[in-house]
Amino acid sequence: MNKPACFVAQVDLSLAFKLEEDLKNQGFEVSKPQYTLFQAKKKGISCTLYESGKLTVQGKDKDDFISFYLEPEILGSLTYSYPDVNQDKTPHIGVDEAGKGDVFGPLCIGAVFADEEGISELSKLGVRDSKRMTDPTILKLAEQIRKKFSYALVKIFPQKYNELYDKFHNLNSLLGWGHATAIEDVLKKSPCQKVTIDKFASEHVVASALQRKGIEVELTQRHKGEEDIVVAAASIIARAAFVEGIEKLSEEFQLQLPKGASPAVIQAGRQFVAKHGRALLPRIAKMHFKTLEEIQAIH
């Protein structure tokens, strides 16, 4: 799990002597810079306790020190090791998508169900917003989530995506249908009526899509939805599917397809057209992107 470079906490000053003695016993070298009660250092960890009671911990080995000593012995809190304490522990389904802003590759929508025990497990696995993780980490986490949790995945490759976009005439309507389909699929495995999604449009978009399917749930739509750990798990499922999908297309057409909508996408698109022709672009690209105009305007 990606932790901040510097951990900061407030320490009860009545525990300062115990903390200092414990650190000495753990092999820390202790000094007393100005405005501090003490500073303790050993290889990989540096701790500074200020006169105000503020404690800072830095260094590459700080995580185990915080988890196995500082939190249980001094702080009496596990919010660093298991930051799910502020999470909604009510059993619910989380939904999120990936690939919406990418010219190449599939649109993927994931849905995950977790109960109270599952939410704690997600936290221990290190689940958080997929946008804050590298793709290799996402792929590993997605594998664990798929093994341990009820989930659903709607993966729409560009050829099908373009057909659906022509049908819906609107990306949000397509997304609403995709979210409703993922919710419908996971409800078959885990009948839970509480659903949280990352809000991407007016609230009626997903609500109407669910209504058309005859699905009644308690739907919460929130900005920064990935702050909910179950939504974050869904974002990981979706992102992993997108990464695997764009790699599959890259292998199929023997051309590395970049993510996003950057100038590198235009360059790759032009290489694709030169190699395979414009007619095959809908196999790899979401054709409503304006980037496609630049890709195709080459001859």
Any idea which residue has 């599952």 for tokens? 118
Residue 97 assigned to a binding site? yes
Q: Which residues pair with 36 in a beta bridge?
A: 50
Residue 84 assigned to a binding site? no
Any idea which residue has 């820390």 for tokens? 28
**HSE toward the beta carbon, residue 195, CA cutoff 13 A:** 30
Please give the Cα distance from 229 to 153 (Å, whole number): 17
Backbone region of residue 132 per phi and psi (left: phi > 0; alpha: psi in -120 to 50; beta: other values): alpha
Q: To which H or E segment does residue 118 belong?
A: helix 116-125
Please give the Cα distance from 292 to 272 (Å, whole number): 12
Residue 89 and residue 230 in contact, taking contact as beta carbons nearer than 8 Å: no
Length, in residues, of the chain: 299
Q: Are strands 45-50 and 92-98 parallel, antiparallel or unpaired?
A: unpaired
Any idea which residue has 């407030």 for tokens? 10
Helices (H), strands (E): how many in the chain? 11, 10
- Provide the angle, in degrees to the nearest 10, between the axes of the packed helices 116-125 and 135-148: 150
Residues 6+ apart with CB under 8 A from 103: 260, 261, 265, 269, 285, 286, 289, 291, 292
Residue 12 assigned to a binding site? no
- Provide the angle, in degrees to the nearest 10, between the axes of the packed helices 171-189 and 158-168: 110
Residue 68 CB burial class (10 angstroms; 0-12, 13-18, ≥19): exposed
Instruction: Please give the annotated binding residues, written as ranges.
Output: 96-97, 198
Instruction: Please give the annotated binding residues for a divalent metal cation, written as ranges.
Output: 96-97, 198
